[in-house]
Amino acid sequence: MELKTDLRFQEVQRFRQIWLFAGILVLLLAELILFGSGIHKQFIQGKPWGSKPMSDTGLIIFSIIGIGIPLLLLILFLNTRLITEVRQDGLYIKFFPFHIRYHKIELENVQEIQPLEYSPLKDYGGWGIRYGAKGKAYNVSGKEGVKIFYTNGKALLIGSQKKEDLVHAIKSWMGNNNP
């Protein structure tokens, strides 16, 4: 467990796009119906399923894979979260389960910090950990965030539903840690 010294800001965000969960649930339901009917026909009724039926073992394996993939996707998206923290010693990001530990975002060479609205699809190609022409982005939901511009020309966007609070915490940290 990591020691959090003097936590000045914390935000935990999760995926909350209804269309994402609806799509996965529809896929899961379709797979359950499809493979459930195949298993029922082949195992219960004793009739081959389809015009070119596969073996019983093959049907079981494909059923497990076909139902397992959307189920694992659902579990993944339900458990994924973006944690943003400003602590006494800097800015930290954890995109769980892809990051097991917090990643410290270096702020020593920051030129500007700006709260903004953006389009996740148009500006960064979607949600998650994204790399593109506009820089790196961490986002899970919404269209608001904080963009950090570095003196080397690079930029980092952190999606945030509390963008003004995050900007204030970062600037406060920078003001206290710059001579």
Q: How do residues 80-113 score in pLDDT, each as one tens digit?
A: 999 999 998 889 999 999 999 999 988 888 889 9
Sheet holding 110-117, edge to edge: 110-117, 144-150, 155-159, 135-139, 128-132
Looking at the predicted structure, is the pLDDT value of residue 136 above 90? yes
Q: What is the pLDDT of residue 179?
A: 47
Q: What is the pLDDT of residue 177?
A: 67
| Backbone torsions φ then ψ of 47, nearest 5 degrees | -110, 145
Structure tokens of 32? 């359950």
Looking at the predicted structure, is the pLDDT value of residue 46 above 80? yes
The 3-state DSSP class for residue 143 equals coil
Looking at the predicted structure, is the pLDDT value of residue 2 above 70? no
Task: Look over the chain and give the mean of its residue pLDDT values, rounded to a whole number.
Answer: 89
Contact partners, residue 93, CB within 8 Å, separation at least 6: 82, 83, 84, 85, 99, 102, 103, 105, 138, 158
**What is d(CA 14, CA 96) in angstroms, rounded to the nearest whole number?**
10
